[in-house]
Amino acid sequence: MKTFYAILFSIGVTSVVSSIFGCAGYLYGIGFWVPFLVVTGLQLVIGALWNTYIENKLAAKMQIERESFEAAKKLADSIQNVDLACAYCAARNTIQLNMAEENSFKCINCNNANKVQVQFSTIRTTEPVVRDDLLSKIFKLQTEEEKEEKEKVKK
């Protein structure tokens, strides 16, 4: 309903402005309709350009908002809560580790400043000794044996 009134208001303003130019044209002997239609056309063109400008501005604003949201999300993803022992008194401190920057903390127990050293290492992945397919084979054999035994009992 709000947009309906806005459109009605816009049409009203356009008509009034065009009518003023039409009346002026009539008074100066050009006639009413030529200036009325020219000014109406001009207003439509200006209005369309203005709308495009506003839309582009809005799109640019949304793009900036989206980018800052993604940056914030990336930062939030890079922060991990870790439990670390103080280098002085070995008390456990839960700190927020940010992979994007250097991390340090003051111990909650002895108040000494600690710097966090992040190390990465790799290990080989290992296959479980008893594999699922092997287990299922054994289970199948057992159930078949049970069946045979049951049949034997029936006989």
| Residues near Zn ion, by CB under 5 A | 86, 88-89, 91, 107, 109-110
Least CB distance to Zn ion at residue 83 (A) = 14
The nearer residue to Zn ion, 39 or 86, going by C-beta atoms, is 86
In angstroms, the Cα distances linking 6 to 13, 18, 41 are 11, 18, 19
What is the rounded distance in angstroms from the CA atom of residue 25 to the CA atom of residue 30? 5
The nearer residue to Zn ion, 54 or 89, going by C-beta atoms, is 89
The nearer residue to Zn ion, 62 or 89, going by C-beta atoms, is 89
Least CB distance to Zn ion at residue 92 (A) = 10
Least CB distance to Zn ion at residue 108 (A) = 7
Burial annotation 18-40 (CB, 10 A radius, 16+ → b, else e) = beebbeebeeeeeebeebbeebb
Question: Are the beta carbons of 91 and 105 closer than 8 angstroms?
Answer: no
Least CB distance to Zn ion at residue 79 (A) = 22
The nearer residue to Zn ion, 48 or 89, going by C-beta atoms, is 89
